[in-house]
Amino acid sequence: MTDKKTSHTRLLLRLDAGAHDSDASVTRGLSALFARRWQAAHPGARHRYRDLVAEPVPLIDTSYCAFGRKVERYQDLPADGPTGLVESAAEARVWAMTRPYVDELAAADTVVIGAPLYNYSVSAHLKAWIDRVAFPGAFTDPSTGRSRLARTRVVVISARGGDPADGRDFQTPCLRAWFRRLGVTDERLHFVQADRTLATLVPHLAGERERAAASLGAARERVGALACVG
């Protein structure tokens, strides 16, 4: 299985999960800005881009769940992880569909995710990636029992249409808990939010346009700063 420990150059994995594929997408614009700044700060580094909307991740199914439950029964995985437990055509198919997502996440030094807030939580496209990539044992180093993501930096860029003070952002705590469970440390997990992004469109938010512009400006500055670190 691919691992950043054996990579010779840095790798940025950029994911976009915004359904609106246009210049109007705040998260797509900010994730692209991050990628440009990151590449400028790391000459010769690699950049892997995955558009989760243009190329949707297959939803998990019964075969995925059955193989996952089988893997979970093993306290000590084989040296090659879940690969060593494949015994049937169905299991081989599940792992063949899942492993590319696992490998590219494990190999990345930095991950940036454009994740707009949809209906108070993550988009369906991002949720499909989360469910697929979080395969049991996939990020456990068999030789140490530690997470293969312990040295991975993750930057989540979110756009929230309204006022963040309303308490209805369930995406941020969800993603924070999920990445922590996979082994990403708190000091390497960053969230950048642009708020009130609908202020230029929705009449009742017209009075928030100045604050929206300030929030977007601050998000751009933080994205640029995070891209140049690590």
CATH of the domain at 58: 3.40.50.360
CB-based burial, 89-127: b 16+ in 10 Å, e otherwise: eebeebbebbbebbebbbbbbbbbbbbbbbeebbbebbb
Q: Note whether 102 and 135 are within 8 A (CB).
A: yes
DSSP track, 93-107:
HHHHHHHHHHHHHHH
| pLDDT at residue 3, as a whole number | 57
| pLDDT at residue 6, as a whole number | 47
Q: Using alpha carbons, select from 16, 195, 41 the residue that is nearest to residue 109.
A: 41
Q: Output the average pLDDT for the chain.
A: 92
Q: Note whether 117 and 170 are within 8 A (CB).
A: no
| pLDDT at residue 4, as a whole number | 57
| pLDDT at residue 23, as a whole number | 83
Express each pLDDT in 58-100 by its tens digit: 999 999 999 999 999 987 888 898 999 999 999 999 999 999 9
| pLDDT at residue 204, as a whole number | 84
Per-residue tokens: 124: 């369906």
Q: Note whether 182 and 150 are within 8 A (CB).
A: no
Residue in the structure block whose two tokens are 């996952």 = 68
How many domains does the chain fold into?
Answer: 1
Has residue 7 got a pLDDT over 50?
A: no
Q: Note whether 166 and 131 are within 8 A (CB).
A: no
Domain of residue 61: give its range. Answer: 4-227
Has residue 230 got a pLDDT over 70?
A: no
Express each pLDDT in 162-201 by its tens digit: 876 677 889 999 999 999 999 999 999 999 999 998 888 8
Compute the distance between CA of residue 76 and CA of residue 74 in angstroms, rounded to an integer: 5
Per-residue tokens: 157: 């860029």
Confidence band, pLDDT 50/70/90 cuts, at residue 144: confident
Has residue 107 got a pLDDT over 60?
A: yes
Report if pTM > 0.85: yes
